[in-house]
Structure 1
Amino acid sequence: MKVAFALAVILAALTAYYVYIPLPSTVSEPWKLMLLDAVFRSIVHVGNLANALGLTHYIRVLNYTVTLDTLGPVSTGDLRVTDTNFGGVEVRVYEWMGGEEGEAKRGVVYIHGGGWALGSARMGSYDVLCRQMSVELKAVIVSVDYRLAPDVRFPVQYDDALLASKYFLQPHVLARYSVDPDRVGVSGDSAGGNLAAAVAQQVATDSSIPVKFKVQALIYPVLQALDFNTPSYQQNQHVPILYRTLMIRFWLEYLDADPSFIHPMLVNNHTSLDLSRVDPSRAKVDWEELLPAAFKKGYKRVAPARGTRRVLEEVPALLDPRAAPLLAERGVLARTPRAYVLTCEHDVLRDDGAMYARRLEEAGVPVEHVHFADGFHGCMTFAFWPTHFAVGARTLENYVSWLDQNL
C-alpha cells in the first residue's frame, strides 16, 4: 500500500512538472492552456521520435493526431454542407438556405491554419467555425482544403488557395450559389492568414479576374520569415502553443529547406547586414519603425553584421511575397481590399500582423487592427467545446461582427 501510494505521488509530481510551464499572468486561463500545451508537446515528442527512428515524417504524426476529429459534410436545418472541388482543389461549401429563393448572399473564402502542414477543412473546429459563420452572416462559406507539407511544398499551398478563390469568383459560379459579387471576402488564420493575404494581393492585381474581394480578414497571420527576433518573437518564444522554433520548422517544411537552417535563422544570420539581397526588403520588416511603442517595449534589434549566405541562396522563396506577403510592394498593397487584422499579445506572430496592418494603412487601405491582450496563438479555434477558452469566444465574436458590418 505504501509503495503504491509513493508511486502515485511520484507520478503526480512528474505529471505536474511536465504540465507546468511559467506563463505570463495576463494570458487567458493559464492552467487550461498548460494542459492543452502538454498534450500538444507530447504529440510533438512522439512525432520527433518516429522521425528519428525513420518510421515516418514527424509532420504526419502531428497531422494524424490533430485531424482525428474530422467530420463529414452534415447538412442541418437551413444549412447545406457539401464537399466538392473548385478548380481541382478540394473544398467544403457551407450554404445558408434560410433566405428567400434567389436572394443574394454574402460569400467568404476561408483558409485554415496549421503551418501549411497540419489541419483540414473537415476538422471539427473549422467545421464548427464555418457553420457558425455561414448562419450568422447568412452567407456561403468556401473552406479550402489545400494540400499540405511534406507531400507538397511552396508554392503548391498558395496555388491551391488561389485556384479555389479564382474559381469561386467567376460570375457564373457566384450566381450558382446566389452570392452577390460585390460582397465576397477572403479570410484565414495563422498560415491560412498568410495564404489569404497572398491571395488577396494576387486577386487585386490580376486584371483577368473580374470579381474582386471586398474585404480581407486575417487572424494572427504569419507574414514574414526574415526576422525571427521581432519583439513578439523574443517575448513569446517559449509561450504555447506556437513556439519560435516550431514556427521556423514550419517555414522550413513549407519552403522545402534544409532543417539545419533553423540555427542560423534563430539568430537572423540568414538576413545579416552583409547580405545585399535582403536590402530591398529590410524596410518592410523594420519593426522599429512599424510597431507601436507598446509592442516594442525594451527589445533590441538582432541584426548580425555577417551571416550565413547559403540560406538565401538555397531558399530564395524567403524573399517571395507569395510566401511572405509582408514583403509586397506598396503599390500592390494599395490595391488590396479593406482589412481586418487580429493579433494576440502572447503570440510570436503578433508583430507580423501589426506590421502588415501598418503597411496597409500607409498604402491607403482602411484597416481595423484588433488586439487581444490576453490572447494566444490559435485561440479562436479554441472557442468551442471541448477546448473552450473565453478569449477564443471573444475573438470569434469580434471577427464575425466585423465581417457582418463590413461585408
Structure 2
Amino acid sequence: MNRIRLLSASMKIISFIGTISETLCFAAAWYVQRNSGHVLKKLKPAEVNVDLKIEDTTIDEVPVRIYSPLNLSQDKNKYLPAISFYHGGAFYMGSVETHHPITRRLAIQTDFIVISVEYRLAPEHPFPAGVDDCMKVTEYVLDPNNAKKLNLDSKRVAILGDSAGGNLAAVIAMQLANNANSVNVSRIQVLIYPVVQFFDSMLLSYLTSILNIFDFGRASAALEYYLNKTITNDVLINNHTSIEQKKKYHQFVDWSLILNKYQQIYKEPITDNINDDPKVIENTKQYYFQIYHHY
C-alpha cells in the first residue's frame, strides 16, 4: 500500500510539473512526464552480476533489448522458451530502460529469453504505430528460422505486457489467432493490469483503483495522444455510447461476475447513463471503428 501511495504521489507531482511547464510554454506536459521517468531510472541501485547476457539490438528495424540466460544458452542445440515483452506507460511514456528491472528479473527467475520491445510512442507516433512495432518483433520471433538465430524455441513463446503493454499483448495475441497466414501463434499471453476496455469507464475498478494514480484528465490526455483524436471527458463518464449499446455489450463487462469474496467492496456502478450525448457518440464512432477495423 505504501508503494502505491508513493507511486500515486510521484505521478501527481510529475503531472503537476508537466501542466505548469505546458502552461508557461516551456515544454509539452507529455514530454515532461515521459522524461521524468528517464531521470528516475538513473536513481536505481547497482545491479548484482548474474549469468545473463543483455544486448540492445534491432529486430526487423524495431529496437529491442534481449536478455539471454548464459548458463542455458551456451548449448547451441538447446532452444529456450521466450517472452515477448511490451512495457506500459499509457502509450506515451515508458521504455525498455524504465522496465529494465522487471524484464531482467523475468529472465533470471524464469530462465527464458526475454525480448523487450522499444515500440514507438504517442503522440509523435499515434495508433497503430506501437501495435505494428510489437507485431513485427513477435512475428519475427515466432518464425522458426528466425527463432533459431536467437537460440529460442518458436513454439514456446509467451506474450506479456503491463498496463498499456497489456493492451498491446492482447491485441497481438488476437491478431495472431485470427491471421490464417501466421507462421505460428503464441502459447501464452500474460496481461498485467491491462488496459482492455473503454466501453464502461464507470466500473469501480476504474473509480477506486486507476484514479488513485491516473485521474480523468490524464486518462483523457493519454487517449488523445494515442489515437491522435480530440477526446472529451464525456468518454470517461460513458456519454460516448448509446443506451442500446450499453444494453447490448454490458454483459461482457458485467461487474457482478466478480467472485463473491471480492464483491463486498463493490456497489453497482453506473452503466445505463441516460445522459448519453448523440453528438459525442457520433464523434467517437470514427476512432472506435478505426481501432476495431485495424484489430
Shorter-chain TM-score tier: 0.7 to 0.9
Q: How does 1:318-397 map to 2 (within 5 A)?
A: 318=288
Partner of 1:300: 269
The 1:115/1:34 distance shift into structure 2, 3 A limit, reads: same
Residue 312 of structure 1 and its aligned partner are, at CA, apart by 4.3
SS of the equivalent of 1:318 reads helix
The 1:311/1:143 distance shift into structure 2, 3 A limit, reads: farther
Corresponding residue to 1:270 among 224, 231, 240? 240
| Equivalent-residue separation in structure 2 for 1:279 and 1:324 (angstroms) | 25
Partner of 1:104: 79
Q: Deviations over 1:73-121 (max 9, x none)?
A: x995531111112222111111112125122211000000000010101
Corresponding residue to 2:51 among 78, 86, 89? 78
RMSD, aligned CA: 2.7
Corresponding residue to 2:13 among 25, 42, 48? 42
| Equivalent-residue separation in structure 2 for 1:145 and 1:237 (angstroms) | 24
SS of the equivalent of 2:240 reads helix
Partner of 2:107: 134
Residue 62 of structure 1 and its aligned partner are, at CA, apart by 0.1
Q: How does 1:1-400 map to 2 (within 5 A)?
A: 28-29=1-2, 32-68=3-39, 69=41, 77-99=50-72, 100-102=74-76, 103-123=78-98, 126-236=99-209, 238-239=211-212, 241-259=213-231, 261-262=232-233, 264-273=234-243, 281-288=249-256, 290-293=257-260, 294-295=262-263, 297-315=266-284, 316-318=286-288
SS of the equivalent of 2:83 reads strand
Mapped contact 1:90–1:144 kept (Cα < 8 A): yes
Instruction: Give percent identity, aligned residues only.
Output: 27
The residue identity in structure 2 corresponding to 1:105 is L
The residue identity in structure 1 corresponding to 2:288 is L
Q: Deviations over 1:216-236 (max 9, x none)?
A: 011000101121101222333
| Equivalent-residue separation in structure 2 for 1:67 and 1:81 (angstroms) | 19
The 1:116/1:156 distance shift into structure 2, 3 A limit, reads: same
The residue identity in structure 1 corresponding to 2:35 is Y
The residue identity in structure 1 corresponding to 2:259 is P
Q: TM-score, normalised by structure 2?
A: 0.86
Residue 192 of structure 1 and its aligned partner are, at CA, apart by 0.3
The 1:238/1:170 distance shift into structure 2, 3 A limit, reads: closer
SS of the equivalent of 1:98 reads helix
Structure 2, unmatched stretches of 5+, are: none
| Equivalent-residue separation in structure 2 for 1:312 and 1:164 (angstroms) | 35
| Equivalent-residue separation in structure 1 for 2:259 and 2:87 (angstroms) | 28
| Equivalent-residue separation in structure 1 for 2:25 and 2:215 (angstroms) | 25
Mapped contact 2:255–2:268 kept (Cα < 8 A): no
Partner of 1:330: none
| Equivalent-residue separation in structure 2 for 1:146 and 1:161 (angstroms) | 6
Mapped contact 2:144–2:153 kept (Cα < 8 A): no
The 1:145/1:47 distance shift into structure 2, 3 A limit, reads: same
Mapped contact 2:140–2:147 kept (Cα < 8 A): no
Count residues with an aligned counterpart. 286
The 1:94/1:322 distance shift into structure 2, 3 A limit, reads: farther
